[in-house]
Structure formats: C-alpha cells, structure tokens
Structure 1
C-alpha cells in the first residue's frame, strides 16, 4: 500500500507552524481502521482526521473518521 499524504493543519492560530496541530488525510476511503490507526500513531498529533468520502463540487464531507494515536472516534 502506498502511504497516503498527511497534511498538517493548525487550529487556533494564524501561524501555520503554531496552534494545535492535527493531521488530515484526504481520500482515505480505501483505508481500514487499523491502517488509519497506524497512520495516526506514526503522525503523533493528538488528532488525525481521515476524509473517507466527500463531494468536491459542494466541498461537503460525508464521512470523516477522527483518530487519536490510541483509538478512533466517529
């Protein structure tokens, strides 16, 4: 499996290197929960969001899984 690209997004700041960092993985629909958990553990941020499906024209997310390095939350 090719490792998906993980983007770093920062909350609560206007500085991209500051704030509360979170990982975001687009196009994660083909990943298993175990693979997502492994990526979240490797990234090491307190949260990593996996966009499993979305509608690009409307920019609406339809399925997002959020995982910490220890467990998943939906």
Structure 2
C-alpha cells in the first residue's frame, strides 16, 4: 500500500473498525484543494478523534511549531 501508513481492519461486536497507523509525519505541510468548496485550499490537523481545519493564522503558527 503506502510506506507512510498502514491500514488495519478489526472486527468488534460485529462491526468493522478501521485503524490507520501513521509511520512518519510529512516532511512539509500538506495543503489540500477541497472540490466541495470551489477548490479552496485547506489545512487539517488531527485533534483528539477528529480532523480539524485550521484558519490561516492557526496554520502559520502550527507549521512554525512543527516544521521550522
């Protein structure tokens, strides 16, 4: 699959749970273009059990703390 992550499917109480194990963080920030929002560029982080879109100011601060 990918050298950056592993995907595992686990059965619990007759439900399939997917776990994604990230092996290594990206060497640079990754910005996506969201086709549902007119291809606006967005930056997400994982916070608790959710993906959270950051504002431009939050993204600048986050990338400074994590990549510089």
Query: Does the TM-score normalized on the shorter chain lie above 0.5?
Result: no
RCO (CA 8 Å, sep 6+): is it higher in 1 or 2? 1
State the TM-score, normalized to the length of structure 2: 0.28
State the TM-score, normalized to the length of structure 1: 0.27
